[in-house]
């Protein structure tokens, strides 16, 4: 069943494959003539390609899911979070233990202490509003960027707010500027809320999604990006080291 | 500034100076002009090839990318030329005998940039478009305050090229405090970007002590965009200034002061000559010049 679900997900992610498949089948039905089998084979090739693309993609997604579920089960047991349910992992790429966050990052599982988290929000791609990724920043200014389907966005945010109510969840320009320019104060503010076990409720904090533009290729395999450069990178590294330390 | 703000400077060492060369600057301008001329030549050639009736080639071409690259390089070379020719503070003060406008800010301010996205290391997911722009208002300040006097700032030790904006004065670690104090005492106006570092606290103390508060312009973080930054500076003002800054109001990020050190916000908006006009008029009025 999960294989079928993955095939469905893959189709909804790229409806072009479905269009090619059915358009091609329709053409073949119209021109069907066993005498000209070579022509039929030629027309069948795109449909076979689209079908294989769907099946192979679904199989790979299923293999990734199985691997991640196994890794998660082992990590939960190792960290004393044994009984925690994780049926929808890694479609919903986060799982919360008592003191830890488990993230499905590409084909790997990333485990972080909850107290290291600093900010989380969802990025929505402007030109492709069905693409979303959950971004979870930690105190060292490193972000786990977790692509997820739109239907999993709300549950992911809900779980995040339930597991770490003190964590700022949401995006606006003020949050971004505060993170970039007043990083140390930002971390101190999060510490204050966490220390007091209070829900994060600064009036200027945004609850929106970040509207973003894609750039370059995916960085699935643990690719890294640093948006700063030169002298400012040095300044920011120093700041993060002080803030994170 | 101050010890904590002066990386790369050594006790007793002479202050390192950035590279300055009039000939080098002119050479850079000529190179930039040559590159622009080349880009125009490529554009005209491409037009002739594509649109004239006997256009021969349908091969894939990359003229547009090439022209953009050449123009970007020309722009960078032109900027280097401008920096090479930027006069030092000593030269500016020798030619302009008006009392200077002193720009006191943390050195970090010179390289601060406004990024389109949160800055840090992202792992996984899709990359985002990386764009950023300089966040320092220095160039706008230099333009807006030129009516008062030459715009002078202490240069960051280790600058390879002097930044554009304020004319830079490079000081050694031994004497920077005495030099800055002397500048503050003779300044027609002070532009202060306060921070909590040791050096800028010292500067605030000197400004409070030596300068008529009506000659001080204070640039602070915009409370609408950086409430935490504004809160930090407001707290600093409680500790270091005779009258503390008020609660933050969105958009108000520039303050002038009355004779009793009471801060008055300028109207919200970007730093422009128009926004700073009340401050310029006030300083010129104090100097007895017609605004």
> Chain B: residue nearest A220 by CA?
B124
CB–CB contact B124 A220 (8 Å): yes
**Residue B242 CB-density burial (10 A; 0-12 exposed, 13-18 middle, 19+ buried):** exposed
Provide, rounded to the nearest whole percent, the portion of chain B with pLDDT above 90.
50
pTM for this one?
0.77
For the domain made up of B87-286, the CATH class stated in words is: alpha beta
**Which of A125, A174, A219 has its CB closest to that of B225?**
A174
Q: Is B113 on the interface with A (CB under 8 A)?
A: yes
Lowest-pLDDT range of A40-54, A219-233, B99-113, B213-227: A219-233
Does the beta-carbon distance from B124 to A212 stay under 8 Å?
Answer: no
CA distance B21 to B162: 11
Does residue B103 sit in helix, strand or coil?
Answer: strand
User: What residues in B contact A227, CB-CB < 8 Å?
Assistant: 115, 117-120, 122, 128, 130, 132
Whole-number Å distance between alpha carbons of B8 and B64? 43
Are the Cβ atoms of B227 and A178 closer than 8 angstroms? yes
In chain A, what residues touch B135 (CB-CB under 8 Å)?
181
Confidence label for B132 from pLDDT (cuts 50, 70 and 90): confident
B120/A213 CB distance under 8 A: no
Q: Which of B106, B121, B194, B230 should we substitute to test contact with A (largest number of A Cβ atoms within 10 Å)? A: B121
Cα–Cα nearest to A235, from B197, B236, B130, B138: B197
**Nearest by CB: A219 against B114, B117, B124:** B124
Q: Are the Cβ atoms of A223 and B123 closer than 8 angstroms?
A: yes
Taking an 8 Å cut-off on Cβ atoms, the answer to whether A173 and B231 are in contact is no
Query: Chain B 92-111, CB below 8 Å of chain A: which residues?
Result: 108, 111
**Taking the CA atoms of chain A, what radius of gyration do you get in angstroms?**
22
Task: Provide, as residue numbers in chain B, all residues whose Cβ is less than 8 Å from the Cβ of A105.
Answer: 123-124
Which residues of A fall within a CB distance of 8 Å from B123?
A: 105, 110, 142-145, 219, 222-224
Residue that has been written with the tokens 């670690």 in this structure:
B173
With a cut of 50, say whether residue B180 has pLDDT above it.
Answer: yes
Q: Would you list the DSSP string of chain A?
A: -HHHHHHHHHHHH-HHHHHHHHHHHHHHHHH--GGGHHHHHHHHHHHHHHHHHHHHHHHHHHHHHHHHHHHHHHHHHHTT-TT---TTTTTS-EEE-SSEEEEEETTEEEEEEGGGEEEEEEEEETTEEEEEEEEEEETTSEEEEEEE-HHHHHHHHHHHHHH-TTS-B-B-HHHHHHHHHSHHHHHHHHHHHHHTT-----TT---BPEEE-EEEEE-TTT-EEE---HHHHHHHHHHHHHHH-
Compare all CA atoms of chain A with the CA of B5 and give the residue at the minimum distance: A235
- Structural domain spans, chain B: 22-85, 87-286
Which of B128, B135, B227 faces A212 most closely, judged by CB atoms?
A: B128
C-beta atoms of A182 and B118 within 8 A: no
Question: What residues in A contact B224, CB-CB < 8 Å?
Answer: 174, 204
- Contact between A219 and B118 using a beta-carbon 8 Å cutoff: no
Give whole-number Cα distances, B193 to A238, B106, B261, in Å.
21, 7, 16
Interchain pair A227, B226: CB under 8 A: no
Judged by a CB distance cut-off of 8 A, whether residue B112 touches chain A is: yes
- Per-residue pLDDT at A2: 64
Residue in chain A closest to B118 (alpha carbons) equals A176
Does B133 touch chain A if contact means CB atoms closer than 8 Å?
A: no
What's the CA dihedral at A73, A79, A82, A88 to 10 degrees?
-40
pLDDT surpasses 60 at B4? no
Nearest CB among A147, A189, A224 relative to B123 is that of A224
User: For position A226, what pLDDT does the model report?
Assistant: 42
Chain B residue with the nearest C-alpha to that of A228: B119
Distance from CA of B242 to the nearest CA of A (A): 25
Whole-number pLDDT of residue A180: 93
Whether residues A186 and B129 touch (CB distance < 8 A) is answered with no
For position A3, what pLDDT does the model report? 65
| pLDDT digits (tens), chain A, 245 positions | 566 666 666 666 666 666 777 777 777 777 777 777 777 777 777 777 777 887 888 888 888 888 888 888 888 888 888 777 777 788 888 888 888 899 888 888 889 999 999 999 999 987 777 789 999 999 999 999 998 888 889 999 998 988 899 999 999 999 999 999 999 999 999 999 999 999 998 999 988 899 888 765 554 433 334 444 456 566 556 656 655 43
Domain A88-244 class?
Answer: mainly beta
Residue A120 backbone class (left: φ over 0; alpha: ψ -120 to 50; beta: rest): beta
Of B112, B118, B124, the CB nearest to A232: B112
The predicted pLDDT at position A20 comes to 73
Chosen from A227, A228, A241 to mutate, greatest number of chain B CBs within 10 A? A227
Task: With CB atoms and an 8 Å threshold, state whether B125 touches A146.
Answer: yes
Q: Give pLDDT, residue A54.
A: 79
By C-alpha distance, the chain B residue nearest A122 is B125
Q: Given this model, what pLDDT does residue A245 score?
A: 38
């Amino acid at each position: 069943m999960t294989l079928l679900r993955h095939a469905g997900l893959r189709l909804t992610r790229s409806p072009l494959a479905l269009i090619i498949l059915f358009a091609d089948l329709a053409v073949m039905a119209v021109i069907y003539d066993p005498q000209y089998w070579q022509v039929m084979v030629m027309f069948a090739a795109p449909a076979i390609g689209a079908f294989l693309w769907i099946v192979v993609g679904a199989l790979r997604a299923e293999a990734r899911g199985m691997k991640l579920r196994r890794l998660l089960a082992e990590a939960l047991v190792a960290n004393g979070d044994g009984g925690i349910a994780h049926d929808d992992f890694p479609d919903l790429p986060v799982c919360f233990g008592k003191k830890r966050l488990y993230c499905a990052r590409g084909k790997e599982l990333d485990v972080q202490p909850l107290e290291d988290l600093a900010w989380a929000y969802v990025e929505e791609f402007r030109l492709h509003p069905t693409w979303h990724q959950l971004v979870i920043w930690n105190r060292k200014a490193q972000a786990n960027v977790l692509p997820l389907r739109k239907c999993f966005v709300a549950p992911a945010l809900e779980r995040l707010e339930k597991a770490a109510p003190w964590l700022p969840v949401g995006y606006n320009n003020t949050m971004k500027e505060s993170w970039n320019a007043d990083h140390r104060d930002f971390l101190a503010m999060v510490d204050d809320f966490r220390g007091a076990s209070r829900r994060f409720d600064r009036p200027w904090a945004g609850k929106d999604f970040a509207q973003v533009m894609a750039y370059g290729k995916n960085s699935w395999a643990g690719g890294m990006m640093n948006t700063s450069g030169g002298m400012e990178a040095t300044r920011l590294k120093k700041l993060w080291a002080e803030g994170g330390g | 500034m101050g010890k904590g703000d002066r990386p790369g400077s050594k006790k007793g060492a002479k202050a390192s100076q950035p590279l300055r060369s009039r000939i080098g600057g002119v050479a850079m301008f000529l190179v930039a002009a040559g590159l622009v001329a080349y880009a125009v030549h490529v554009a005209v050639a491409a037009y002739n090839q594509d649109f004239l009736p006997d256009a021969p080639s349908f091969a894939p071409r990359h003229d547009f990318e090439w022209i953009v690259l050449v123009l970007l390089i020309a722009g960078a070379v032109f900027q280097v030329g401008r920096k090479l020719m930027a006069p030092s503070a000593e030269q500016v003060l020798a030619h302009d005998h008006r009392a200077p406008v002193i720009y006191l800010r943390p050195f970090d301010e010179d390289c601060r940039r406004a990024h389109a996205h949160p800055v840090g290391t992202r792992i996984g997911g899709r990359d985002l478009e990386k764009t950023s722009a300089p966040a320092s208002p220095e160039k706008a300040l230099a333009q807006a305050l030129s009516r008062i006097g030459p715009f002078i700032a202490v240069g960051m030790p280790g600058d390879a090229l002097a930044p554009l904006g304020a004319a830079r004065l490079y000081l050694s670690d031994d004497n920077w405090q005495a030099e800055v104090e002397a500048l503050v005492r003779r300044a027609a106006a002070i532009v202060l970007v306060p921070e909590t570092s040791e050096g800028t606290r010292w500067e605030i103390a000197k400004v409070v002590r030596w300068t008529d508060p009506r000659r001080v312009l204070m640039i602070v973080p915009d409370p609408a965009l950086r409430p935490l930054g504004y809160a930090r500076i407001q707290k600093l003002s409680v500790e270091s200034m005779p009258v503390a800054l008020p609660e933050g109001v969105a958009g108000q990020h520039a303050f002038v002061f009355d004779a009793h050190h009471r801060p008055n916000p300028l109207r919200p908006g970007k730093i422009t000559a128009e926004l700073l006009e009340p401050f310029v008029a006030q300083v010129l009025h104090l100097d007895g010049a017609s605004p």
